[in-house]
Amino acid sequence: MNPFKGSRALLFSVLIPIMLPQLMPESVRLIWLLLVALVVLKRMGLINFDLGRASSGDDESVSSKPSDSSRQNHAKNQGEIVAMGSAPYQFNEANRLNYYITLRSKRGDRTIWGIDLKRVAHETPLAVGDNVALEFLGRQSVVVNQPVRNDQGEIVSHREVNTHRHSWAAQVLPA
């Protein structure tokens, strides 16, 4: 696994504070190196943190990606199921098929994406209209085949990509 593939900005963000210490005070350089080390560890999958940004969704995602803190706050993933099934990721026809569950809560609708949700929906079993709590259990490293497209958007080949698969659990709540 190469966590730095295509990461020129990361390379320069590491080299500049190391190579040019006279331009940066020592305390700032140490903080910068700590932040760079955290980003490297996150890209390697050794740690997980979320800075409040929506995820890009390599293989699976949540519209607002849950962090490990969502284990403690289950209310983020509670609601009535209004839709579920297989569809291209984020309903974009250019993306691969994925599984989704759309929950309606007091805060509005929220679509959660993940291959493991299909297993959870069949094992629990879940149906549209059920009031449920979905719990993010963590993620595991997987290798998936990603399509490679040409300039016209046609799939010309596939390549193996290291990514993570999110694990979920569901509980049907009383109405």
User: Does residue 76 surpass a pLDDT of 70?
Assistant: no
pLDDT at 100 over 90: yes
Position 119 scores a pLDDT of 93
Q: Degrees (nearest 5) of the Cα angle 19, 25, 31?
A: 85
**pLDDT in the model for residue 8:** 60
**pLDDT above 70: percentage of residues in the chain:** 70
* Band (149; pLDDT cuts 50, 70, 90): confident
User: Residue 64's pLDDT band (boundaries 50, 70, 90)?
Assistant: very low
Distances (CA, A) of 145 to 52, 161, 165: 28, 6, 13
Query: How far is it, in rounded angstroms, from Cα 86 to Cα 104?
Result: 18
Residue 159 pairs with which residues in a beta bridge? 146
Distances (CA, A) of 63 to 23, 38, 118, 149: 40, 24, 17, 25
- The CA distance from 30 to 24, in Å, is 10
> For 102-133, what is each residue's pLDDT tens digit?
999 888 999 999 999 999 999 999 999 999 99
> Would you say residue 135 has pLDDT above 80?
yes
Q: Is the pLDDT of residue 99 over 70?
A: yes
Q: Give me the half-sphere count of Cα atoms (radius 13 Å) on the Cβ side of residue 9.
A: 1
- The pTM of this model reads 0.52
Neighbours of 96 (CB within 10 A): 13
Run of H or E including 3: none
